Amino acid sequence: MKKSLLIVFMTLLIVACTHTRKAEINVIPRPVEYALFDKVFKFDKNSKLSVEAPEECKKRLADYIATTALALTIADDATENTLHLKLIKSLEGVSSAEGYSITTDKNGVSIAATSEAGLFYGLQTVLQCIENEGGVPFGSITDEPRFAYRGMMLDVSRHFFDKEFVKKQIDALAYYKMNRLHLHLTDAAGWRIEIKKYPRLTQLGAWRDRPIWKDWWNNGRLYVEEDAENAHGGYFTQDDIREIVAYAAERHITIIPEIEMPAHSEEALTAYPEISCTHEPYKQADFCVGNEKTFEFLENVLSEVIELFPSEYIHIGGDEATKTSWPSCPLCQKRMKKEGLKDVDELQSYLIQRIERFVNSKGRQIIGWDEILDGGLAPNATVMSWRGTEGGLEAIASGHKAIMSPGTYCYFDQYQDAPQTQPEAIGGYLPLEKVYSYNPVPEELEQDKAKLLYGIQANLWAEYIPTPEHMERMIYPRILAIAEIGWSAQETREYESFRNRALTAVEHLKSKGYNPFNLAEEVGNRPSAKQDSQHLAKGKKATYAEGSPFYDGYAAGGDTALVDGKHGGWNNNDGVWQGFIKGGIDIVIDLEEKQQISFVGADFMQICNPWIFMPCEVTISASDDNSNFKELVKIEHKVVEDDSLSFKNFGWEGETEARYIRYEAKSDRKGGWLFTDEIVVK
């Protein structure tokens, strides 16, 4: 070891004397450590491949390289003009089996690793160097991932995407060192995996009467037979699944299947209504937990799924269960009484724990969305935390693994640029920079617990994504940020460097037939959000009337949020917009002294899908004593529902003198939200 290190050191010393040291490397994810120079080694038609590894490993690597731009001929005795891959027992400075080292000089490129996965990831770095820099820079790279789990979820239920599309995404994920692909295979919109024992799941449950999810959802949500003239949908045969799983494994990606339970199961309960609480199709979204036939069904389905997917984890969903039928269902109530369950949350936990025992008996583990914490977490479960990070931290505190996937940073169904410039999305605003800003390890996480934070995952729900081109636009380049977060050390990450590398990656993705968002033409955040607003109310005391509190989950800056000079962006969840759910806003601002006033106004946001609406009435008043208010204007507004994200200022212009300004806004939607960002006084 010492002799080989000396040789490397001397090589680098010689190179350093004759070549300029490079400060950056155009690779995603950014390697942990590198010492590189401007001279590069370029492969040519005479270059050879040498692999020191067991024969099966050697063949897999050679076969993969043959599919790339390198396409090298094997010559194990070659010592010059060579790509040399070598499996070794240990690698200095690397603790992960996925880590690797690269040394490059005039004789070629050498990759060393302790596992085939490590050699594969080293190879991706070499391929990116060739693509981005014309060759592999002289010098050395030592690299390993920050997290063991680096994943993406594709929703193939809401709109079906076939095996060729999935394999195409696997190629890109592997190129950027991602190692998990989670397939959301079942949901109301369609059951997407063949189950031999239950053919109606795909004969009926995989097909609907309208191709576009939104049209189907708003027009009866009907399923049709596979051979119907108006059938739209599809599913993976078991042979398709085997092909996808094998293809992914060759690229060191594990496919994790998700079979939703107990909710999001309308398609299964229409195909087999006897396992719903009412035994009627089109009536329920949740399985009947009191019915023993439910567990027979789920165990039979999972048995076939487990046979197809060799993954450690089987994802069982567990999110957003309505539980509305369980309190009135005789079988569910009987189950609760027999098991001593105090509420429907514990009934859900009963299902999750029972399914976990079954999955564990097959040598696998369950993973679920953070709602599986409700009513008590199953003993061996891993939690995927999507409603913020609290669920993940709760799981870790109790000794369970967690994967961070908070919607604020990891839900790619949101707009990635100014909404008016983008195809329809579910709402929100999640640009590349915000994705990249996420650090999955919260400051409050104790060091000894950090090892239970297993990794990070991006999720792409497909309600508003009907085509492969749209799906790829939503994935890329944002998944590259997740790749770097999951792999690179936190202290090495820097957005401007990443964005420059992502710009290059976008062009290469285009050249390979992908359809990424054109990052070079990014518009960016809402213009008013880009700078602070200076006005008379900024920094002044704001008092909320009793009965008009903001919602804690959308508090923004709390009592100072509407007078801090900050305007919200395209997303109500950006920490600037303040949310009100109880029907109205009533706030008084003390300007501290009587002043000449010419304008009072506030912006509101509307996006109807998450029930965020404009106010139906706004009243603006002024006072000298905070008791006797003079009405300046009352604005009545008819709220019109539409599919777009919109903003409107409700304000008054004129001339008056006042010390106190009162701003009232009312909602005509029971259960609807009002969101405003700043009350501007001039």
Length of the chain in terms of residues written: 682
CB 171 within 8 A of CB 251: yes
pLDDT of 55 strictly over 70? yes
pLDDT of 19 strictly over 90? no
- As a whole number, mean pLDDT of residues 641-663 equals 94
**Per-residue pLDDT reduced to its tens digit, 489-548:** 999 999 999 999 999 999 999 999 999 999 999 999 999 999 999 999 999 999 999 877
pLDDT of 115 strictly over 90? yes
Residue 82, Cβ density class (10 Å: 0-12 exposed, 13-18 middle, ≥19 buried): buried
pLDDT at 537: 98
Angle formed by the axes of helices 344-361 and 330-339, nearest 10°:
80
Per annotation, catalytic residue among 164, 239, 307, 320:
320
Written as six digits, the tokens of 567 are: 């305007």
Written as six digits, the tokens of 212 are: 């576009």
**Per-residue pLDDT reduced to its tens digit, 125-163:** 999 999 999 999 999 999 999 999 999 999 999 999 999
pLDDT of 8 strictly over 80? no
Mean pLDDT of the chain: 94
In the residue annotation, 76 being an active-site residue is answered as no
Distance (Å, whole) CA 39 – CA 18: 9
Is the CATH code 3.10.450.50 the one for domain 2-143?
Answer: no
pLDDT at 444: 84
pLDDT of 320 strictly over 50? yes
Per annotation, catalytic residue among 264, 470, 535, 567:
264
- Three-class SS of residue 412? coil
- As a whole number, mean pLDDT of residues 6-22 equals 54
Q: What percentage of the chain exceeds 70 in pLDDT? A: 97
Neighbours of 253 (CB within 10 A): 23
Of 280, 186, 275, 180, nearest in space to 235 by CA: 186
**Per-residue pLDDT reduced to its tens digit, 70-103:** 989 888 888 899 999 999 999 999 999 999 999 9
Which residues in 431-557 belong to E strands, given as ranges?
A: 453-460, 541-544
pLDDT at 79: 84
pLDDT of 17 strictly over 50? no
pLDDT of 583 strictly over 80? no
Q: Which amino acid is at 59?
A: K
Q: Grade residue 446 by pLDDT with cuts at 50, 70 and 90.
A: confident
Q: How many CA atoms lie within 13 A of 59 on its CB side?
A: 3
Consecutive H or E run containing 83: strand 82-87
In the residue annotation, 264 being an active-site residue is answered as yes
Q: Grade residue 7 by pLDDT with cuts at 50, 70 and 90.
A: very low
**Per-residue pLDDT reduced to its tens digit, 189-212:** 999 999 999 999 999 999 999 999
Written as six digits, the tokens of 447 are: 């060091």
pLDDT of 639 strictly over 50? yes
CA distances (Å), origin 313, targets 179, 298, 357, 364: 13, 16, 13, 6
CA angle 613-614-618, nearest 5°?
A: 140
Same CATH fold assignment for domains 2-143 and 149-521: no
Distance (Å, whole) CA 440 – CA 442: 6
Distance (Å, whole) CA 242 – CA 248: 10
Q: Where are the domains of the chain?
A: 2-143, 149-521, 527-681
pLDDT of 20 strictly over 80? no
CATH no. for 149-521: 3.20.20.80
Residue corresponding to tokens 């190129």: 175
- Three-class SS of residue 585? strand
Distance (Å, whole) CA 391 – CA 371: 8
Per annotation, catalytic residue among 98, 105, 187, 678:
187
CA distances (Å), origin 139, targets 20, 85, 132: 11, 16, 17
**Per-residue pLDDT reduced to its tens digit, 465-474:** 999 999 999 9
**Per-residue pLDDT reduced to its tens digit, 456-467:** 999 999 999 999
In the residue annotation, 470 being an active-site residue is answered as no
Superfamily, domain 527-681: Galactose-binding domain-like (2.60.120.260)
